[in-house]
Amino acid sequence: MNKIIKQYFLKLFNNAAVLNEQHIINFSNKYGKEGKWLDLGCDDGSWIKRITSKKIDWYGVEVVRSRAKLAKDKGIKVSASSLEKKLPYRDNAFDLIHNNQVIEHLFDLDLFLSEIYRVLKPKGILIISTENPASWHNIFALLFGWQMFSATNISIRILGIGNPLALYRGKQFNEMAVGRTKTWIHNKLLTPKALTELLVCYNFKILKTMGAGYHPLPAKIGEIDANHSHFYVITAQK
């Protein structure tokens, strides 16, 4: 029975992730101008190459050197560096900065956001997306006394700790991490309200917030209530 339930949740998760990516694509095309774009946590570069058809000079930061090399092979100007350090770019360098499913893995959010603000051009765009600890499936997990789905990746020994329905429960870390290290662990979970207030604290103007995923209902319901969606995207301007 657990296997059937997990397959059902995996389908919901995938639908939400696809819709969330579509929101990022829509926001990139709506708010982004051609020029220099930076992806923070670019992995192997496959995703950002799909974001827009505009003429973009792509830069990236990726801490895992094997993944950074793959991104470089795709023509992205990659710095193999940690996002827990100052960004290796001059002030006011980029027209748009993209950050998808990365902020939850970091510790020093003050440094991270202050650095984004520094290297972003005036009127430049930030598109940032993460998981929502206030999603209904996380809330219901807590009601059962389980670990939130979004907070089960807390050990490099084994995944899915504390939640019997976690998608990757019982799998070894190396099976999922594909060459990554502890950077795959979730360290900070932010609700849409929390991330919004944090961005405003660093002088960003919020343009649009959109949710995706509303388990067990269809993923698009999350567009109506981002506060309880699985994923959300915030688009902000410097």
> Would you say 91 and 118 are in contact if contact means Cβ atoms under 8 Å apart?
yes
Query: In order of start, what are the domains of the chain with their CATH numbers?
Result: 2-58+66-237 (3.40.50.150)
179: pLDDT strictly greater than 60: no
Over residues 158-178, mean pLDDT: 76
CA distance 118 to 90: 8
pLDDT at residue 184, rounded to an integer: 75
Pairing verdict, β 56-61 and 77-79? parallel
Query: Of 135, 97, 95, 100, nearest to 23 (Cα)?
Result: 100
pLDDT at residue 202, rounded to an integer: 97
In tens, the pLDDT along 24-73 reads: 999 999 999 999 999 999 999 999 888 988 889 999 999 888 899 999 99
Output the pTM of the full model: 0.92
Q: How is the chain split among helix, strand and coil, in percent rounded to 5?
A: 40, 20, 40
Backbone angles phi, psi at 212, to 5 degrees: -150, 130
> Would you say 13 and 230 are in contact if contact means Cβ atoms under 8 Å apart?
yes
In tens, the pLDDT along 92-150 reads: 999 999 999 999 999 999 999 999 999 999 999 999 999 999 999 999 999 999 999 99
pLDDT at residue 177, rounded to an integer: 52
pLDDT at residue 174, rounded to an integer: 61
In tens, the pLDDT along 202-219 reads: 999 999 999 999 999 999
CA distance 236 to 67: 28
200: pLDDT strictly greater than 80: yes
